[in-house]
Structures are given as structure tokens and as C-alpha cells.
Structure 1
Amino acid sequence: MARALDFLVPDDVDDPMRPSGGNAYDRRLRDGLRAAGCPVRQVGVAGERAAAELARALAEIPDGGAVLVDGLLADAAPQELLPHTARLDVVPLVHVPPGEERGTAVHPDVRALLAAARAVVVTSRWTGERLREHGVDAASLVLARPGVDRAPLAAGTDGATSLLAVGSLTPAKGQDVLADSLARLAELPWTCRMVGPRSRDPGFAGELRRAITASGLAGRIGLRGPQGTADLEATYARADLVVVPSRTEAYGMVATEALARGIPVLATRTGGTGEALGEAAMPELLAEPGDPAALADALRRWLEDPGLRAEARRRAGARRATLPTWTTAVAAVGAVLRRLLEPETGEARGAPSAANPRRAREEPR
């Protein structure tokens, strides 16, 4: 590719103590594009200073440049990006639809930025559908679901009682709902590990810890904090069931990480979790988001029904063989970027376009 790609990402993208699905996706996409020959220049932007840092970074990119920008930054400072769409090829990478996790209205500048973008990468069909509801042209959407690496089958414990939830401690991830549901099942045998950073919402994390202590379950529900690769692998290896209690989930990379190890998943019916689960989805192991009673009912079925557990493990094994790969995700994004970065196609910003790159897409349906 003749031109470099500037990839604007959160400045904690490589911080092992602040893991997130979005950060993991950005890293794998960056590394995969570089391996495929795309000259990617990573630019880290601090969320609390997004506007100022984006303005400075964008001013340094010459006319005709191509910019892939993480959706968190686009959502935080669209007013800085929007004026540059006339001179740069701006491609937002949207993990979560704008306003979804906070339940807020989409800012008009975000809508305008998405409408002006040459292409918009989405990480789930559901996210694409939500953006279409916000007025984004379906032809501009590029679907690139997160991949997953095949991993050894998890040994688990007794096949039932070791529960695991992985994710930042935030309201969107629903660990408070899970703790409430487990308090309703105190008479049953189980233990639960909640693994993930507390720093993204310290207030919520503190309230969660106090609620667990007040319920008398502190000895059975462990808040482990973030874990490095080796420790997290060991944690997955001990899990009998992975619980994804999210209030909203654009895709559910934790679900696919579990299924890559043959671990059944109990999840909420929200966002793109159905895409992640695929043929591993079981109605008995799905619950409405934000409903601790419904989640407790699903957990009770899991703990009390050996036949259900056996079927869930069979389905997890089947899904393990069909999970998407990072190679596919990188190829989907790379194909679009190649059209923007190679000047001989005549599609650089400001040039006449005989073959609009928006026409060749894996369109979310």
C-alpha cells in the first residue's frame, strides 16, 4: 500500500492492566494489518484529553491521508474529526454503537461523522443494524467480527459449580446482576470468580464489593482484578461455566473465548451475543438483561440439570469448530483500506471514484 494508515486508538490499548475487548480487537487488527503489508502508524489518544489530542494528531496528517479511528474516540470528540473528512479518508471502527452503554442520545456530530465516513467498520451485525437506525448508509458498513484463537479444552472442576465472569467491572457488564442472582442461590453449591479491571468505574466496583460482603458471599464470589495471559488461561481452565451477565454487549468476545476452550456459556439476550454464541446458544441458558431473577433461574437450571450441562458442553464443542478467526477479520478490514490507500485506484480523498469502495462490503443483514 502506497500510503500509511494512521490508527487512532485509546492510549491504554497496550496496557495489560486495563484489558478490554475493544483494546484486544484494536491490537489484533493493528498487528494483522502490519503483517499483511499495511504501514500502520498507531497514535494513542487519552480519553479525558481526546479533543485536544485528536486535534493535534489530525493536524499532523497530510491531505489525502487515511485514518482508522476507534469508535470510543469518535464518540468522545466527533467535532474534531468531522472537519477533516473533507481532506482525509476517515474510517471509524465501531465496537459499541454510540450512546448504547450509557443509554444516551447520539450526538448530531457523531451522526454526521458516520455519514461522512468513506467506510464504517462494525464488529457485529447487531452494531451495523443499530447504526443503520441512526441513519448510516448500509453500503458503507464493513462487517469484521472479532476472531478468536483456538485454545486447549478446559478441564473445569466437577463440571458444574465453578462459575466465571470476565470483564471490566462496569454497569454495562452486569456483575451486580450476577451477584444478586447468586445470592438467590446461596443454598446450592457454587463458586464464582469475577475477573476484570476495577479502574474503569471505581464507584461501581466499590458498590459491587460492598453488596457481595453484605450478602455474606464474599467467600464464594471472588473479585480478582485484571489478569495477565498466563493467569487468565489458568482461570479459564478451571471454569465449568462462563457467565456473560451484560446489560448490553455489542458482540461478546468473552463468550467466544470460552467456547474456544469448550466451556459452555450462560448469557443475556442482548446486542450481538447471539452472533457470538452461534449454535452454542440454548434458550435455557439465556436470560433477559438486567433481570437477576431470570439469571438466577438460568443458573439454577445449569446447576441442577446434568442433561442440560451435557448438551451445553456438546454445543460448545460444536461451536468451537466454527468460531471466526482473526485472519478473516483482518482481511475484511484490509480489503477496504487497500482501496483507500492505493492511489492507482483513483479513490484517494478528493479524487474521482469510478469504483466507490462502499460498494464491496460484507453487509450486515
Structure 2
Amino acid sequence: MTATGPAAERLLHFVLPGEVDDPAAPSGGNTYDRRVCRELPAAGWQVRPYAVPGSGPRPGPEARGELARCLAALPDGALVLLDGLVACGVPEVIAPEAGRLRMAVLVHLPLADETGLAPAAARELAARERRTLHAVGAVVATSRWAARRLVAQHGLAADRVHVAAPGADPAPLAPGTDGATRLLCVAAVTPRKGQHRLVEALAAVPDLPWTCECVGAAREDTPYMSQLASKVTEFGLDGRVRFAGPRAGAELEAHYAAADLLVLTSYAETYGMVVTEALARGIPVLATAVGGVPEAVGSAPDGSLPGLLVPSGDPAALTGALRGWLGDPELRQRLKISARGRRAMLEGWEMTAHNLATALERLRHEAVRPRPVQPEPVQPEPVRHEPGTAG
């Protein structure tokens, strides 16, 4: 059925990172973007996606040029949602178009929150992000924590920052392995995800039975991957800690089905989609209490916590939580009951689309400044000569 009337005007131009559909580079942000493209039409929106190659916090000249051409081709007043990975680092591209386009930026992770940045680089990225977010009409954050952080960090007006948290798909209960010993970490292998902290904590409980599968994009040639492989060998954990690489579809489902506990030892997370993916299967969670992770973990209807949250900078607490999970059957049972209770409360992606659509609808009615009309060049009149005069 073809939409007519006001609904037909709800056209969203969604500018995405170039690798959004790359199976070798799965991420929560890419998953979120793809699901929004799928779910918004049910909320009455047409979505036209544009993937910009070479996107990132510091895009090269070709990527900046491609983004500039993409925006310049859109008509005055068009409604545009830009992934923060595309937009936040290039205010010089975004600001000139912000007056005539209705623009919103979707921030998955503030640029300066990436682990390992030098202080000067972090300050530069934060400044560029601030200029971008102040230029556009609306900002969308993926958790209440992230929205508060963006308001405080960049001095944004709170009513311009909207929250559209990721949804969770219904899933069957995970049978697990033996109820205790199969640990699962689902995260790209990067310093921000902190897998080295997990390996070090596991090395402190070698006397207990466990195995740990680390699922996520992992490049063998990176210094971080080499560091992790060395630690695993140094601690004698070969065969107990396995890096399985990226998995999706049925393969990822099989990892979740075998898991007894999800572990996530990140330094920074705006939400932590893998947390709710695990809870949707009734799998308890052990995670560092960073960013929006406590929000994602939430609580069961009885107020109990469906997992264990530990301070980010406390290795002893992480080791203690692992030892508690592996060694205390009553604790495991309480957490499993709580995880199943939390499972029934999770919101789906249709709520994500609803919350995002609400923010977009508000932006759709804001005034814009059309592109100035360039006057037609004035053609000089031909010179007329009087008879008998010199030419």
C-alpha cells in the first residue's frame, strides 16, 4: 500500500558507515543501524540509506569528499540521520549543510571514549564532536547514561538529546552446558573491550573448571591480539580460552545456546547490546559497571540483579566474582532466576524505532534556511554605435 498525506512526507535519509553490512566487521553500532532501517517503515517512515566508505573518527579526504557530495545532493529541508562514526569527526562538512537540512546525529560512542587515545588526540576529537553536535538540530543517544554524558560533556541542551535504546529480539532459553563452566564473551577484540582483563582474571582461578569462548571480530596482525595470545600461553590457558572470531546467525546462536554466563570486561560502553542479547536467552551476566551497562543489565520484577557488576578498575573484584559464580551453586541459581525474570521485561526493536521516530518527527517540523538561490548571470547588452562614429 502506498502512503499518502503527511505519512508520505516522512522520508529519512540515513547516512551510514561504509562497512555497515560487512560480515567481517560486526558491531553493536552496525547492528543497531541495520535494525533501525528495517523497523522504521513499520512506524510510518521511508528510509533511504547511504553508506559512506572510509568512515571513522578521522576520515581521509576521499571519505570527507564523499560525505560532502552526499549531503550537497539532498534537497533543502531533507531530514537526515547520520551515524556518529560518519559525522562526529567532520564538523567542517556537517556545519555548512546544517542550516538547510534537518540533521540529527546518532551517537553510538562518544569519540573521545575510545580506549588508548593520547590526551591531546582525545581533546581534539571531543572538540570536533562538540562542534558537530552543536551544529545539528537533534542528537540521538543509545542509553539514558549516554544522553546525560553528551549533555554534560558538550554543553548541549537536554531537550535536543533524545534516547532510543537498542531493542532485544525474543529468543529461546539457552540450555547452557553444565550450568556453570561455559563462559562466553561477545565483543570485538579491541583494547576498549578489555579482553586482557578477562584473561588475567581467569588466570587467577585455574583451580576451578571453566572454558571461555571469545566471539568477535579479531585481526591476528594487531598488537592487541598478539598481546592476548601471549598472555593465554604465559598463563597456561591454551585450550581453555579460545578466540573464535566473528560469528553471526546460526553460529552465534550456537555459542549463546551453550553459554552458562556472559562476561563483558569493557572499559567503556554506551549500552552493551550483548548484555540484553544474553538476558533474552536467560543467561546471567558478569560485567564491569561502565557507562550504560548497568542500564542494560537492569533488574528483574522482584528488584534482583540478573548478574554481577564489578568496578572497572578493580581486578580483585572481577576475580572474586568469577570465583563466586564458579564455586557457589546457590548464587548461580539466584542469578539464573533473576535473568529469566529480566528476560520477560526486555523491550523489542519496535520500541527503539518508536523512540527514534518521535525524535525525528519533532525535528521534521523545525524551520530550515534554504540554500541561497544563485542569480542568473547578467548578459551584457551589445554596444550600439551611432552612425558616423568610430567603433
Q: By the TM > 0.5 criterion, same fold?
A: yes
Kept in 2: contact 1:75–1:110 (CA 8 A): yes
Kept in 2: contact 1:176–1:208 (CA 8 A): yes
1:244 to 264, 267, 274: 264
**Letter paired with 1:127:** A
User: Could you state the TM-score of these two structures normalised by the residue count of structure 1?
Assistant: 0.90
Q: Paired residue for 1:130?
A: 149
How far apart, CA to CA, are the structure 2 residues paired with 1:284 and 1:261?
13
How far apart, CA to CA, are the structure 2 residues paired with 1:73 and 1:260?
30
| Distance change (3 Å), C-alpha of 1:287 and 1:200 | farther
1:61 to 68, 74, 78: 74
Q: Paired residue for 1:51?
A: 64
Q: Paired residue for 1:41?
A: 48
User: Does residue 1:100 correspond to 2:107, yes or no?
Assistant: no
**Letter paired with 1:192:** C
How far apart, CA to CA, are the structure 2 residues paired with 1:3 and 1:36?
10
Deviations 1:170-229 (A, max 9, x none): 111111110111011111100000000014983212221222122211110010000121
**Letter paired with 1:144:** A
User: Does residue 1:142 correspond to 2:149, yes or no?
Assistant: no
2:191 to 151, 157, 171: 171
Q: Which runs of 5+ in 1 are unaligned?
A: 352-365
Q: Paired residue for 1:278?
A: 298
Kept in 2: contact 1:8–1:67 (CA 8 A): yes
Q: Which runs of 5+ in 2 are unaligned?
A: 1-7, 371-391
Kept in 1: contact 2:284–2:306 (CA 8 A): no
Stretch moving more, 196-205 or 2-11: 196-205
| Distance change (3 Å), C-alpha of 1:201 and 1:54 | farther
Q: Paired residue for 1:304?
A: 327
How far apart, CA to CA, are the structure 2 residues paired with 1:81 and 1:308?
51
Q: Paired residue for 1:75?
A: 88
**1:5-16 correspondence runs (5 A):** 5-16=12-23
| Distance change (3 Å), C-alpha of 1:283 and 1:150 | closer
Kept in 2: contact 1:169–1:175 (CA 8 A): yes
User: Does residue 1:21 correspond to 2:28, yes or no?
Assistant: yes
Kept in 1: contact 2:14–2:47 (CA 8 A): yes
Stretch moving more, 195-204 or 127-136: 195-204
2:224 to 195, 204, 213: 204
| Distance change (3 Å), C-alpha of 1:246 and 1:200 | farther
How far apart, CA to CA, are the structure 2 residues paired with 1:202 and 1:83?
37
> Number of paired residues?
347
2:176 to 156, 165, 169: 156
**Letter paired with 1:10:** P
Larger-Rg structure: 2
Identity %: 49
How far apart, CA to CA, are the structure 2 residues paired with 1:275 and 1:229?
26
User: Could you state the TM-score of these two structures normalised by the residue count of structure 2?
Assistant: 0.84
Kept in 2: contact 1:168–1:200 (CA 8 A): no
User: Does residue 1:229 correspond to 2:236, yes or no?
Assistant: no
Kept in 1: contact 2:98–2:135 (CA 8 A): yes
Kept in 1: contact 2:10–2:44 (CA 8 A): no
Structure having greater relative contact order (Cα 8 Å, sep ≥ 6)? 1
Kept in 1: contact 2:298–2:306 (CA 8 A): no
Q: CA RMSD in A?
A: 1.9
**Letter paired with 1:83:** P
**Letter paired with 1:117:** V
1:84 to 72, 97, 101: 97
Shift of 1:282: 4.0
How far apart, CA to CA, are the structure 1 residues paired with 2:312 and 2:180?
22
Shift of 1:148: 0.4
Kept in 1: contact 2:282–2:343 (CA 8 A): yes
